[in-house]
Amino acid sequence: MWLQKRLTLSAKPRGFHLVTAEILGQLDELKQFKLGLAHLLLQHTSASLTLNENADPDVRTDLENYFRRLAPENQPYFRHTAEGPDDMPAHIKSALLGVSLTLPITNGRLALGTWQGIYHGEHRDQAGRRNLLVTLQGE
Amino acid sequence: MWLQKRLTLSAKPRGFHLVTAEILGQLDELKQFKLGLAHLLLQHTSASLTLNENADPDVRTDLENYFRRLAPENQPYFRHTAEGPDDMPAHIKSALLGVSLTLPITNGRLALGTWQGIYHGEHRDQAGRRNLLVTLQGE
Amino acid sequence: MWLQKRLTLSAKPRGFHLVTAEILGQLDELKQFKLGLAHLLLQHTSASLTLNENADPDVRTDLENYFRRLAPENQPYFRHTAEGPDDMPAHIKSALLGVSLTLPITNGRLALGTWQGIYHGEHRDQAGRRNLLVTLQGE
């Protein structure tokens, strides 16, 4: 059984955001799968999709502060600057963190660890909604 | 053909560990698949799962020493500190390296490159056993 | 429907290279899949496979200059040095960026975002051709 669906993630401020509920709220079809895999592709190059801690919101704040230092703006050697100082650092973060996840499905639910949640990393200062293409397969 | 199995990775000291044999030793079912994909999800947020060199153990030591510098402890801006100074750096490494792998299966074996092995990155100072959920599919 | 195929990526200079066309040119079989997933594994530990901006070539130059700084050569604590000063940094970049991609297929084409392309990161100074194992599945 195969199913493909285009979801939208709401526009968010720069930073890391827990979006497990936002995704599952648009993915009722998951219940049809007893065993399978869910593939998620964020179709952008200046945002990211990762798994991380779903409990303490400080983790998201600390991650944002860490990645601002890891990929700082206005490096003298940057040439791709026409779209603003936040753009090239956003491409770097997108490459480091990735834009795609493959997650197991068990009995109609994502089989994540107890503390795992899906993070939408928004790396632009002013971003609109983001497209997420979901592919479900299984039995 | 679909199959899902929960494996356990033994408790390990902080650092990078080659676990290809530890995983395959618990995955006899792989032999039933002529062609397919194996999906591995480490169900944790302070460890990681990656592919890297399977030969020289110095690569694992160098990686650990590199990542200790890339994501150092006790940064003044960290707010998520209640679980110890190694916890927030562990979440960062888990995000950077990832916790999931999808690997091709050919004739009952993982079709990795000659020099590729599966690494369990243990990023906590004191960690217990880790849960690995494996989903096999193919024909 | 399952299909596995070994592709070759041409030898490239150190840096980031857009290889969407090079891959699709060897993957006519994609047209047989109405809906599915394409899994790509670069079978090496000193190169990488990622998604990033497909338009401005400056992004690739900036990424190379950034990663040269993020994982510099000749660190005093490196022990894995027998294969040259570029080798251990290449393993680090391969771990950070990853060597595998899973991409959705819709109506015989990869369903990437408008600005997304596949990057081959070549992290060795002198590298030969690289092996890419592609696994297609779908209906």
Task: Work out the mean pLDDT of chain A and round it to a whole number.
Answer: 98
Q: Half-sphere exposure of A76 toward its Cβ, with a 13 Å CA cutoff?
A: 0
- Report helix, strand or coil for C111: coil
For chain A, what is the largest distance between any 2 Cα atoms, rounded to a whole number of angstroms? 53
DSSP category for residue C56: -
Q: Rounded to whole angstroms, what are the CA distances from B139 to A104, B1, B84, C73, C103?
A: 18, 6, 46, 44, 20
Residue of B nearest to C136 (CA): B36
CA pair distance B14, B34, nearest whole angstrom: 36
Q: Name residue, tokens 């020099």.
A: B115
Assess contact for A39 and A101: CB atoms under 8 A.
yes
Interface A–B counts its CB contacts (< 8 A) at 84
B107 touches chain C (CB under 8 A): no
pLDDT band, very low/low/confident/very high, at A130 (cuts 50, 70, 90)? very high
Among chain C residues, the shortest Cα distance to B104 is held by C135
Instruction: Give the pLDDT score at A138.
Output: 98
CB environment A38-72: b (16+ within 10 A), e (fewer): bbbbbbbbbbbbbbbbbebeebbbbbbebbbebbe
| A64 residue type, one letter | E
| DSSP, residue by residue, chain B | -EEEEEEEEPP--SEEEE-HHHHHTT-GGGGG-SEEEEEEEE--SSEEEEEEESS-THHHHHHHHHHHHHS-S--TT----TT-TTHHHHHHHHHHH-SEEEEEEETTEE---TTEEEEEEE-SSS---EEEEEEEEE-
Residues A71/A96, Cβ–Cβ less than 8 Å: yes
Taking CA–CA distances from C42, the nearest residue in chain B reads: B113
**Spans in chain B with pLDDT lower than 70:** none
Across the B:C interface, residue pairs with CB atoms under 8 Å apart total 84
Residue C110 belongs to what H/E stretch? strand C109-110
Q: Which residues of A touch C50 (CB under 8 A)?
A: 95, 98
- Residue B58: what pLDDT? 98
Count of C-beta atoms within a 10 Å radius of residue C21:
11
Cα separation, C60 vs A138, whole angstroms? 37
Which pLDDT band holds residue A12 (cuts at 50, 70, 90)? very high
Provide the pLDDT for residue A137: 98
Specify the pLDDT at position B97. Answer: 98
Could you tell me which residues come within 8 angstroms of residue A83 by beta carbon, excluding any fewer than 6 positions away? none
Task: Determine if the pTM surpasses 0.95.
Answer: yes
Q: Which residues from chain B sit within 8 angstroms of residue C4, using beta carbons?
A: 35, 104, 106, 111
Q: What ipTM goes with this model?
A: 0.97
In whole angstroms, give the CA distance from residue A96 to residue B121. Answer: 17
What are the pLDDT digits (tens) for C27-74? 999 999 999 999 999 999 999 999 999 999 999 999 999 999 999 999
Residue A75, judged by CB atoms within 10 A of its CB (0-12, 13-18, 19+), counts as middle
Mutation target for B interface from C42, C45, C50: give the one with most B CBs within 10 A.
C45
If you average pLDDT over residues C102-120, what whole number do you get?
98
Report residue A73 CA to chain centroid gap. 21
Domains and CATH numbers, chain C: 2-72+83-138 (2.60.120.460)
pLDDT at residue A36 in the model: 98
Q: Would an 8 Å CB–CB cutoff place C45 in contact with chain B?
A: yes
